[in-house]
Each structure stands twice: as structure tokens, then as C-alpha cells.
Structure 1
Amino acid sequence: MDISPLISRVARGKHGSEHLTQAEAKLVFAQLLLPDADALQLGAFLIAQRMKGETSAELAGFVEAARSRITGFGAYAAPPTAVDLPCYAGKRRAPHAYLAAALKARDAGIPVFIHGVEHIEGRITAWQLLQQVGVKRVTNLADAHVALKGEGMVYADLADLCPDLFRIYNLRPRLGVRSFANSVARLLNPISCSGQLNGFFHTPYADYMAGANILLQQPRSLIFMGAEGEPELYADRQKVVVRQLGEKVTRLTFPESGCDYYPREPMDMQLLSEQSVAMVNGEISERGRAVVQRMGEAFAWAAQGKMPTEWKVEE
């Protein structure tokens, strides 16, 4: 099928560009995900969308297209209380408190499915820590389903789950900018967990991603500005927390913890790795403890839909 008319609509410039419908977005991205897709069309579409900005409907269509490229998608149901944890940013300024919280959630009986990318230049990824603490890595959804039920936590890499999306995700160095493939990966929810915790870095994405999850019929998700773009709430100065529950979207607030603010400067990578492992093993700062507790509340909500006592709906 010739998708150039759809690309043309998106690429007409600041005042002439048009948004695609969910069905159109699914159609065009399904074509561009093919290994033999026209490289010029792919690059043009990614940059045009970057300039225009994605709508919730477009994101939902892109996610549907990517899911169609995952072997076994829809064939395996995660346990009812399982939580999807997409990790696509990595850390460089502070230890991985969200992973310490995820491990605690697993130990409390909440299954956690983690997906991301193995390597990000200048950062320590979720997998680089998880492999040090014995978390199993799988390459397909059949094995993920078994591991999630048996061990309570499993990691899968985007390169294995959806190599076609990973190929586009990995174009950032050549494009010079991040594309919507990053948001698509975060919304992928490969094993259809009922709950999702999703961090982002840029504020406008909160509403777009929540809207996309509604269209994708995600039962519940917590979408928030995360520390360094990972799914980690801040102890203080949390800017945006959006709760999506079925078709209803609300903004949440919670009390400040009174801890030191999140560090601004990058750490030595070896020291960061050591401190992250130490945090998982219980050696934790006051701020880290506050974050782990808050993330524990988030995991409990994502698993069961029960609102933490101190969390309030923003008026």
C-alpha cells in the first residue's frame, strides 16, 4: 500500500499538518515497521511527527502496530495483579530506587514485568542492575509468562520482544532527536498487565499517554514525571502524576517527604552501580527510603487499584 499520502498530511508544516486517526496511524506505522520499509519514508515520517507532535489516537495506533510485530502478543495473560514497568531512560544521578521498590513489590506477591533496552550510553539501565541481583531475562512472551508466574519478576529486552520497533527506537543517534518510538515502547505492555507504572521526562506526555492508554483499553495506569525519565516518583517536588482508571483520568498529589532534593550532577558510573546494588540489599539513604515507600504505594495501586491514604485527587 502507498502510504505517501498519509505521510504528506503529517508533513505539511506548522500550519498545514494534520493529525492521523488511530486507524491511519496503525496502518502507516505497520508499513514502516517492516524490515524492508522505505528508509526515506521512515525518516520523513519520524521527523514530521516530531515537529507536529503526536496525539493520543496516533500513539495508540502506533502501539497497536508495534504489538502486531510481537510474537505471541495476546496469547499470554499476565497474572491479574501483575504490573507493567517500562524502563527506557536509565540513570546517572542517583541509585535505582524504583527497582528496589519493584523487588519489594515482588516479594510482597505483586508480579512485575520489566522491559527496556540493555544499554544506554552514559547511563546505567534497569537490566544492568537487575542482572546483578539475579532477575531472569527472557527473549519471548512464552518464557516471560512462565517466569512471571513462577518467579514473580522477569525482564525482557525490546531488541528481543520487538526487533522492528527496536530498530526504529535505535535511530536516535542518526536522526539527532528522539522519536515517538520511545513513547510507543513505554506503552507497549507486551504481556497485557492490568496495571502499569510509566515515567516520562517531558510534561505534555502525561495527558497524551493517558489518552492513548484509554484507547488501548488499559485497565489502570499511573503516568508521571519520573526521576531522569524512569518510572520513579520523587520524594519531593513531584510535578505531574496522572491516574488513568478505565476511561477516567485524574491528577494526584501527595505530601512532601522533607528529604534532600534529587541530585543534579551525574555520578561516577561504578559508584552508581555499587550504590544501586547496595540499595536493593537494604543500604539506603533517607531520601531513597522515602522514594521506595512511595513507589511501594504506587505498585500496590497498580496491582489492585487501591488508592494510598495520603494520595489526593488534585482539585
Structure 2
Amino acid sequence: MSLAPYVQIVARGKGRGRSMSFAEAVDAMAIILNGEAEPEALGAVLMVMRLREETAEEISGFTVGLRNHVKNILPKADLDWPSYAAGRTRGSPLFILAARLVSQAGYSVSMHGWNSHQQASASVRGALKWAAPTVRYSAIEDLCPEAFALLKLRDTFGLRSCINTVLRMWNPSRAPASVQGVFHPSYRGLQAEAAQIIDENDLVVIKGGGGEFERNPAKRVAIYGWMAGQFLDQSAPALTPEKRMLHDVNQPIDLGAVWHGKNQDPLAEASVTGTAAIALWSLNAASTLSDAQSMAEALWHRRHNPESLSV
């Protein structure tokens, strides 16, 4: 098979080109992942989609195409937590500690991802020693080498493509709830619309640091997505009046020191509990975000006695 018909769909001249339908996107992704796409055609499709911006039908179709392709599905988890941020300004992954709190509350967390163009201090994989055993991390290059190759095309194009968004939507553990971070605010609505098409009824998306699901507690946070099938479009106020930069690449935060209380950093702690609170809320562990925040703070204060934490 050839990807040429799909190039014709998206790349015809003004007034003639259009976006792919859901079904067309599913088929196009199958061609791509099966290695049947000509490199020139693949580049054309991905870059034209980026230029005119992807649609929810295309993202959801590509996501289903990826799910159809991958056979080694992970064990089912309670919460899907993708991690695909990139960039040299990204700081220490405080969200790892947030995921640990969520897991110590009795929920299994499935993380998957790959991170590029980062300082060593921002390494997610390097920080996994601070996660709990019930936080499972899966590397994208092991889960699906073909998808990893698509992600690496950023080095060829010099630009990200819709694959970054598709991988966030993937949910390889088929968890009933998912949390996602985006860098560009416009993608919050796109991912929420794509989730509706593929019946993802519990999805929370925020603008997070560097594109990770990680709350900056010094700022108001906008929350999009779905909860129990109801559309989310709301915001939560800042958790602290402190206005300093949360991440400074020249002064990385020591996650171990924060976890063990050797480094008293109220802003970092607020990021951990604030991120955990939104995740717990997405899991319906609390009826309101305010209650979830109280729950996360209680978990933080009792974090060194994990046997008493499970909900």
C-alpha cells in the first residue's frame, strides 16, 4: 500500500485539500507503522498537518491506528500518565513524586514516554528511583519501535509533529483515567475533543511545565478534558503566593532531599501535592478538586508511613 492517496487528501491546493476523516487517519497510520510509507510521503503528510494544525479526527484516528498496531499491551493500570516533554529549560521532574503519592494512595500508575533535548538533571528515567513500585514506567522505544522512529523524526524535520500528541493519547495500559500535560494551550481542547471520539471519558489535560503533567503552584491552572463523560473547562487558583521560578536548570531540585524532608522547599512541595491532587481528582478519589488537594496534602504529610495511606 502507499501513503500517496493521503498526501493528496491533505496537500491539495487551496480549496481542494482537507483534513483526513477518522477512518482515513486509522488507515494512514496502519500504512505508516507497517513500514509501507515512502519517506517523502510520510514527511509531506506530517508537515502539512502541522502547518494547518491537526484535527481531533486525525489525532483520534492515528491513536486507534497505533493501538491496533501494538500487540504487547501493558498490564491494565488505574491511571495512564504519559511523559513526552522536551527542551533544555525543563527542570527536575517533580511529577515523579506526585505519581508516587498517587500510587501510595492505592492506585496503580502507568507512565510511558521519552524525553529529548534535556539537561541531565531533568531526566525522568534517572529520577525513577524516587517512584514507588506501583508506578510502572515503559520506554516508548521498547513499547513500539516504529512509533519511536516517528517521534525521532523531530531531529530530521527540526519540528515536532502530531506524533507527540498521539503518544500522549495512546494509553497503552488501557487505564480508565488519564492525565496529560501540554506545552501549547491550544492542544488542551484538541486532546479533549480527540478523547471524546474514542470514548475516553476520564481525561484531564493541563498546561504543564515543559509539556509534562506537572502543576506550577504559583499560577492559576486551566483544566480541560472529561470526567465521568462530562466536559471539563474550569480553572483552579494558585496554591501559593510565592512567585519565584519553579525550575532553574542551573539549580536543579534534589527530589530525594525534598521527599525525605532534607530540603524544605514549599514551592516544590506545593507542585507535588497540587499535581497529585489533580491526578487523584481524575481518579474520582475525591469529589472536588479542593477535597483532592486536602487529600494530597495529607498523603504528603504521611508519606513516610505508606502502609497507612491506601484508600
TM over 0.5: yes
1:114-141 superposed Cα distances (whole Å, 9 cap, x missing partner): 11116544462321211x3366xxxxxx
- Which shows bigger deviation, 197-206 or 214-223? 214-223
For 1:219-298, list aligned pairs within 5 A: 219-261=201-243, 263=245, 266-268=248-250, 272=252, 275-282=254-261, 283-298=263-278
- Asked whether the equivalents of residues 3 and 42 of structure 2 are also in contact (C-alpha less than 8 Å), the reply is no
Q: Distance in 2 between matches of 1:239 and 1:57?
A: 27
> Does residue 94 of structure 2 align to residue 97 of structure 1?
yes
CA distance in 1 between counterparts of 2:17 and 2:264 reads 50
Deviations 1:129-169 (A, max 9, x none): 11x3366xxxxxxxxxxxxxxx4211001101011111000
Higher mean alpha-carbon deviation, 255-264 vs 170-179, is at 255-264
Partner of 1:145: none
Deviations 1:225-270 (A, max 9, x none): 01111101121323531131254312122222233336287413xx
Distance in 2 between the 1:170 and 1:191 partners? 23
From the superposition, tell whether residues 262 and 93 of structure 1 become closer, same or farther in structure 2 (CA, over 3 Å). Answer: farther
CA contact (8 A) 2:182 2:207 kept: yes
Aligned pairs (5 A) from 1:194-213: 194-213=176-195
Rounded to whole Å, the distance in 2 between the matches of 1:239 and 1:170 is 30
Equivalent residue letter for 1:275: D
8 A contact 2:72–2:143 mirrored in 1: no
In structure 2, what is the equivalent of residue 142 of structure 1? Answer: none
Provide the C-alpha distance between the structure 2 equivalents of 1:254 and 1:195, rounded to a whole number of angstroms: 20
- Contact 1:259–1:286, Cα closer than 8 Å, also in 2: no
Q: Specify the alignment match of 1:20 in structure 2.
A: 20
Question: 298-307 or 226-235, which moves further after superposition?
Answer: 298-307
Letter of the 1:306 counterpart:
A
Letter in 2 for 1:285: D
Q: Which residue of structure 2 lines up, in the alignment, with residue 128 of structure 1?
A: 126
TM-score for the superposition, normalised by structure 1: 0.83
Q: Is the 8 A contact 1:243 1:252 kept in 2?
A: no
Q: Does the C-alpha gap of structure 1 residues 158 and 303 become closer, same or farther in structure 2, counting only changes over 3 Å?
A: same
Count of aligned positions: 289
SS state at 1:263 partner: coil
What is the distance in 2 between the residues matched to 1:309 and 1:90?
28
1:175 aligns with 2:157: yes
SS of the residue corresponding to residue 156 of structure 2 reads helix
Q: Could you tell me which residue of structure 2 aligns to residue 144 of structure 1?
A: none
Q: By how many angstroms is 1:189 displaced?
A: 0.4
8 A contact 1:206–1:242 mirrored in 2: yes
Quickly say closer, same or farther: Cα 1:246–1:152, change in 2 above 3 A.
Answer: same
Q: CA RMSD in A?
A: 2.5
Partner AA of 1:304 in structure 2: N
Distance in 2 of aligned mates of 1:167 and 1:93: 23
Aligned to 2:206, the other structure's residue is in SS state: strand
Of 275-284 and 19-28, the range deviating more from structure 2 = 275-284
**Quick check: 2:60–2:194 contact (8 Å CA) kept in 1?**
yes
Q: Which residue of 2 aligns with 1:34?
A: 34
Go from structure 1 to structure 2 and tell me whether the alpha carbon gap of 1:262 and 1:27 turns closer, same or farther (over 3 Å shift). Answer: farther
Report the 3-state secondary structure (helix = DSSP H, G, I; strand = E; otherwise coil) of the residue aligned with 2:233. strand
> What pairs up with 1:130-145 in 2 under 5 angstroms?
130=128, 132-133=129-130
- 2:61 counterpart of 1:64: no
Deviation of 1:217 (Å)? 1.5
Give the Cα–Cα distance (whole angstroms) in 2 for the partners of residues 5 and 37 of structure 1: 11
Gaps of 5+ in 2: 292-311
- Aligned CA distance change for structure 1 residues 57 and 31 (closer, same or farther; 3 Å): same
Does the alignment pair 1:106 with 2:103?
yes
Is the contact made by 2:183 and 2:207 (CA closer than 8 Å) also made in structure 1?
yes
> How far apart, CA to CA, are the structure 1 residues paired with 2:222 and 2:170?
21
Q: 1:309 to 1:64 in 2, by over 3 A?
A: closer
More off after superposition, 282-291 vs 22-31: 282-291
Distance (Å, rounded) in 2 between the aligned partners of 1:133 and 1:258: 25
CA–CA distance in 2 between the matches of 1:248 and 1:221? 10
Q: Is the 2:119–2:249 contact (alpha carbons within 8 Å) kept by the matching residues of 1?
A: no
Match of 2:84 in 1: 88
- Corresponding residue of 2:284: 304
Look up the match of 2:306: none
1:188 equivalent in alignment to 2:170: yes
